[in-house]
A and B are shown apart, each in its own frame.
Chain A
Amino acid sequence: MAEEHPRATGRRGPGLTRRGLLKTGGGVAFAGLSIAALKLPMFSVDGAKQDPAKCRATDVSATSQELIVSNWPAYIDPRKKATSTVSVFQDRTGISVQYTDDINDNAEFFAKIKNQMGSCQPIDRDIIIMTDWMAARMVGLGWIQPLDPSGIPNVHKNLIQPLRNRQWDPDLDYHAPWQAGLTGIAYNAAKVPEVRSFEELITRSDLKGRMTLLSEMRDTMAFMLRVVGANPDKFTEAEWGQAIDRLSEVVASGQVRSFTGNEYIQDLAAGNIVACEAWSGDVIQAQFDNPDIKFVTPEEGLSLWADNMMVPNLAVHQANAEEWMNYYYEPEVAAKLVAWVNYICPVEGAREEMEKIDPSLVDNKLIFPDNNDLKDSFDFMPLSDQQSQQYEGEFNDVIAG
Chain B
Amino acid sequence: MFQYVIKRLISTVPVLLGISLLLFVMLRMLPGDPAQVLAGQMATPEEVEVIRHQLGLDRPIHVQYALFLARLAHLDLGRSARTQNPVIQEIWARLPNTVLLAVLAISLACLFGIPAGIVAAVRPNSWIDYLVTSSALVGISMPVFWLGLMLVVVFSVLLQWLPAGGTGSWKHVVLPSLTLASFVVAFIARMTRSSMLEVLSQDYVTTARAKGLKELWVITKHALKNALIPIITVVGLQFGMLLGGAVLTETVFAWPGLGRLIVDSILARDYPMIQGTILVFGLLYILVNLVVDLIYAVVDPRIRYE
Do chains A and B interact in one complex?
Answer: no
Q: Interface on A for B, CB 8 Å cutoff?
A: none
Chain B interface (Cβ within 8 Å of chain A)?
Answer: none
